[in-house]
Amino acid sequence: MLREFNNLNAEEQQLMFDAIPLITILVGAADNQLDEVELTEAQRLADIRSYNNRGRLNAFYEHIDEGLSERIQQLFNGMVNGVEARERYIVKELSKLNTILPKLREPFGYLYYHNFRTFARHIAECHGGFLRFITVGPKEAKVMDLPMIKPIPKPPEDEFPDLIG
């Protein structure tokens, strides 16, 4: 178990670990297709973040990195068909993070919130376009900022220097 999850129950911990797969499905399948490009990008990004995250969330990404594509597929295959029903379910699940993230000691609530949003943005931008510019379609744009998750304020700079975002 990750130290920052000490005060979370098993269900809350599982949702934290499933947040990245759920975000990948929400954004990647916003156009009703979860394709290989999005799965590969999610896996690549988790790989990178498992060793290149200024040491703060490495353990989290190491934990989800192994088997991430399989977990995404498992969750996706277990969901109802249809974009709207799937989106409603995922929004409901991700909304639960609004009670979980504030439970994490500083600066972790903020770091997870920020990381989830940047992860979503990367998934939204991973398709084509011209030199990867103007790559986010309107359906992805609607969900990529994760509006269902309330912002966690950035902790004071003097207490936590060098935080991202």
DSSP string, 142-163: HHTT-TTSPPPPPPPTTTSTT-
Higher pLDDT, 79 or 139: 79
Residue 54 neighbours by CB distance under 10 Å: 10
**pLDDT band of 50, cuts 50, 70, 90:** confident
Arithmetic mean of pLDDT, 108-137: 81
Using one digit for the tens of pLDDT, what is the confidence trace for 73-98? 999 999 977 889 999 999 999 999 99
- Ranking 41-45, 85-89, 125-129 by mean pLDDT, the lowest is 125-129
